[in-house]
Amino acid sequence: MFLWDWLAAALSYLGLYHKKGKLVFLGLDNAGKTSLLNRLKFGTMATPRPTGQPHCEELNIADMTFRTHDLGGHKQARRVWREYLPAVDAIVFIIDVTDSHRFQEAHKELQGLLKDELTSATPLLILGNKIDDPRAAGEFQLRTAFGLHGLTTGKEPRTLPSGQRAVELFMCSVKEKQGYGEAFRWLAQHF
């Protein structure tokens, strides 16, 4: 069963048919943004070249349509992130959990998104990718390094108080098809 079939069943259960949304995939270069997009769209794991220019894909899951933008993660690409933010319904921020040397750099970018007034109500899904690697940081270590303790809103389905932004961290492996299905189900509940 492909991931989108599994998500389709979940979306049906949640009553999210005929819903449309615009997502933006953000994170530093080599975090797995394009790999995740390819896995979701085609069900394959290809080793992509670094994203040189922003590109858009449309994902159809059941009767839900996601228009996704992969903006790249190198320093020059990060300059255009803000231009896309006003038009999105949710942000997916991907972190390479094997690259602890870049946690501070990724933390700075994530904090910029969290503090940006343009996205103050936009749900933010944080994916800690590459948990299949023995060098991977654990969830507690990632929450600590990124200052997420007390900031996230919980993985269980619930209605948030008015004005509270949905933010949550899910650990995943795009390569091994682990964790991101639950993460997207969570995200679908919040927009």
Round to whole Å and give the CA distance between 60 and 79.
29
pLDDT at 122 over 50: yes
Note if the pTM is more than 0.85. Answer: no
pLDDT at 15: 47
Residue 161, domain CATH:
3.40.50.300
Residues 6 or more apart whose Cβ sits within 8 Å of residue 128: 95, 97, 136, 137, 139, 142, 169, 170, 171, 172
Chain mean pLDDT for the chain: 81
The annotated binding site for Mg(2+) is made up of 29, 34, 51
The annotated binding site for GTP is made up of 27-34, 73, 129-132, 174
Residue range 12-57, pLDDT digits in tens: 544 444 567 888 888 998 899 888 888 888 887 665 555 555 656 7
Number of independent structural domains in the chain: 1
pLDDT at 1 over 50: no
Residue range 62-84, pLDDT digits in tens: 456 766 656 565 566 556 667 76
Residue range 155-190, pLDDT digits in tens: 987 888 888 899 999 999 999 999 998 998 888 888
- 85 vs 154, more confident: 154
3 state DSSP class of 178: strand
The annotated binding site is made up of 27-34, 51, 73, 129-132, 174
Q: Assign residue 32 a region: left if phi > 0, alpha if psi is -120 to 50, beta otherwise?
A: left
| Residue 93 lies in domain | 3-188
- 189 vs 142, more confident: 142
